[in-house]
Structure 1
Amino acid sequence: MKILILPDSFKGSLTSGQAAAQIESAARKVFPEAQIESFPIADGGEGTLEMVQKAAGGAFLPIEVMGPCGQRVRSRYLSIGDTAVVELAEAAGLGLRLPGFSPMKTTTIGVGQIIAEALHVGHRRIVIALGGSATTDCGCGMAAALGTQFLDEAGRPFLPTGATLSMVRGIRLNGFFFGKNAPRIEALCDVDNPLYGPQGAACVFGPQKGATPDEVKVLDAGLKNIADLFQKRAAKLNTLRGAGAAGGTGAGVAAFLNGRLLSGIDALLDLMKFEEAAKSADLIITGEGAVDTQTKGGKVAAGIARRAAGKPVVLFTGANMLGEKDLGALYELGITAVLPILQKPSTLGEAMADAKTNLHLAALNFFRTQKMFGAR
């Protein structure tokens, strides 16, 4: 029996590597003779740097930059030849948000500072992993750190945040990113949401970052304003798959840096040669912290299921937020079963603290049922 284990992180409780270790440990207890391949994975969000280094090598380079709330933070990026891989969460992630800061006030400027340093030391290709952001500034902070100017009504440059996106009246792009010798910029998007509107960055993800209903309206209007400033390109910018990733930073990469938006999970599955591994697998196991309406939109589990070539795909989760109808949509994608790991009634804090044990026990019992039905 060959088992392929590819979990995402369980945000706030387990890294993808820790989750993979718990599932693998359970599998080996039940099937000691099984061939097990474990690949901690990401979708372009947190954990991407580790996954890319495991698959492609490279060295981590440290750097100190401005965090999402204006504080100094120690960050890093991955250098592989002439390619630099930058993880947005390392400079503007939710884990760096200070108390009292909603996405109205946070910034991606630190992300731009990392990119600037990577370009300065000679990298010609920049891959930006979007996801896990504390921001909804459309990547304006990132762009400002790289030479783009945002002008107010009086024509004066200023640094927009989510609260002031609607105050932008003009944009002076840095021609370096549009010239003959421009670097190659790519963004790995963990979702495929549009920039603004009911399914956009502010309306869907703003509340998760601490935005109130009134603030969500302000953020959404600000994102639309940035798109409108590109006039004929506005519709394309909004509907670009992944434009809403990382608080609109996906759109910012495309508009300000002339970059390409890619499905994070697809790019990373390509890197690890997933199809080749899946062909010989009998069972594919994945996992994520919560299964909700976003799971089918660019996340790890959906990406794996689409490319699993009909092999059984089991998804462990800390919390299943879907009813039978929405679960049916995941089944149609190729997910065989969604298995919550909770072992007893718990508060959110207790569930997160016990995630390692809960995942191990859930996996152990799942594999025992497989053995009961003849798997070996």
Structure 2
Amino acid sequence: MRSRHAWVHPGLGILVAGLGVVQQLGSPADTHLAVALCACLLGGGAVAVLPAAPLAGLGALLVVDAGYQVAFGDPPFATFLATMIAMYHLARAATRRTMLTGYAATLAALVVMDVVVSVRGLDSPAGVIIPIVYFAAAAGLGALVRHTANYARIARERTEALEREQAHLAELAAATERARIARELHDVISHSVSLMVLQAEAAREVVDAHPDRAAQTLDVIGDTGRRAIGDLRQLLGVLRSDEDAVPVDLGALVEPVRATGLAVELIESGEPIPAPLRATAYRVVQEALTNTLKHAAASKVVVTVTHDAGGVTLEVVDDGAGTPQPAAGSGRGLAGMAERVQVLGGTLSTQHLTPHGFRVLAQLPVCE
């Protein structure tokens, strides 16, 4: 930014010097013309070096003004104008220490000049007031521009900080949404595919001896596949709305599991599950049943759902021996359940029972 405006002060210096030269050449000739022209040129040069050496430039101007005043009388208007520019620059861009030093030096020079002219009887002491007013006005304008620029810079920095914060929050929201979608996909695909695999294996076992039972099992596979497709379509709808589109009928959830031969008992008590907790309750029970089918080698599982004033309690207990079935898994089932429950401020615990069995317990608080 500074390089773009590097020409400003040299240009002002040339302008001040040129103005002074023209003014002096246009005035009646006197014996001090050469000195006045040199003073104008020095004033222009001092303006040009203000960005690099503000105190040196101002000092040179004060020496020229005071020396001319003492030796010849009132200095050329160009040097007075150059001093006003120096005062403006001090207030606009100099450090606090440089600014105060420059002000003190200017005031001292004005006092010296006024004393000299008063002693010589050339002017009244009130003459010092006029340059002070002009210099103060120049310094005030510089301070105003400085504060305005600072306010603009602070506002710009705050805007940029807000934009960065918004971008960060958007990234966090996107990451959260990706994690939620991953959990949904895991729940839908893992549960449905596990059911279809188990049902297909059962159909293969009975297709020769009991064709009618095999046909029924194939119908269940078809129903499970269609339900999975429906769940995936609902999940795509969730991407454009919210998680309320997730199915919440626990009775419909356990029926395909029973069709695999696993005895499932569903016990529900209390009021219906509150809407904000339904999707999470459904997914927790779904994942627990999927894990039972894939890993527990169980013959029976009991699902207990209780809603009271304290919240919703979900308990899934099987009687499996815990022998893993030959099925692949991502290992994200329990972690996904825990993430769902924690988002709602609830708790999830798992426990191996003695002598056999596995227990999943989730507690979801009701938010008033």
More strand by share: 1
The answer to which structure, 1 or 2, has the higher relative contact order (CA under 8 A, 6+ apart) is 1
Q: Which of structures 1 and 2 has the bigger CA Rg?
A: 2
